Amino acid sequence: MVKCQSSEMSHGSVRESEPGVYEVAGDELSLTYRPRLVKLDDGTELAHESQGGTLASVWAGDLGGLYVEVVHLGDGPVGGELVAVVPDAETVLVGDLYTPDNPASVPMSWPEAVDLALGLTTESTRILATAGPVERDELEAFHQRLLGVMHG
C-alpha cells in the first residue's frame, strides 16, 4: 500500500489546464499531470516503464512547499497509468483508471489499481479523472463494474 508522508505542507493548487490534463502548482515548481506522463516545469519527465519511461512504482517530490507523489498502482485500459496524490490539496488524480463507460474487456490489474486508488482517498478527497471530477462512491461503483466485466 502506498502511504502519503505529508504533515506540515501548505495547501497547493490543482487546476485543469485542458480537458483531462491537470497542473499541480507549488511555490517553486509545478507539474503537469497526464494519465501516463507527468512533466515538471524544470524539464523532468515521469512515465511508467511500460510507456517508455523509467518510473517503476513511485516518485515523490516537494514542489516548494507542496508534497506530491506519483505512483503506478497497476495498468488500466491502456497500461502505465500514473496516479498523482496531492495530500495538502486533498486531491487524487486517477487519470484513465476511471472511465464513465463500461469497458468491453478488463486487464487483470485494472480493478486492483482502482481498489488501491480508492485506498488513497477519504470521503473529503477530490478525485479527478481524465473524464473530469468523480465522486468517491462512483469510483467504488466503477470498481464493482470492472469486476463484473472481468468475471462475467
Q: For residue 113, what is the domain's CATH number?
A: 3.60.15.10
Count up the domains in the chain and report the number. Answer: 1
Quick one: pLDDT at residue 28?
87
Among candidate residues 151, 50, 40, 44, the one with its CA nearest the CA of residue 106: 151
State the Cα–Cα distance between residues 84 and 139, nearest whole angstrom: 16
55: in domain: yes
Instruction: Provide the residue range defining the domain that includes 37.
Output: 13-151
For the chain (152 residues), the mean pLDDT of every run of 10, in chain order, is 36 85 92 94 92 91 90 91 94 96 91 96 96 97 95 85
Quick one: pLDDT at residue 126?
97
Contact in structure between 98 and 81 (CB atoms under 8 Å):
no
Quick one: pLDDT at residue 11?
54
Quick one: pLDDT at residue 6?
37
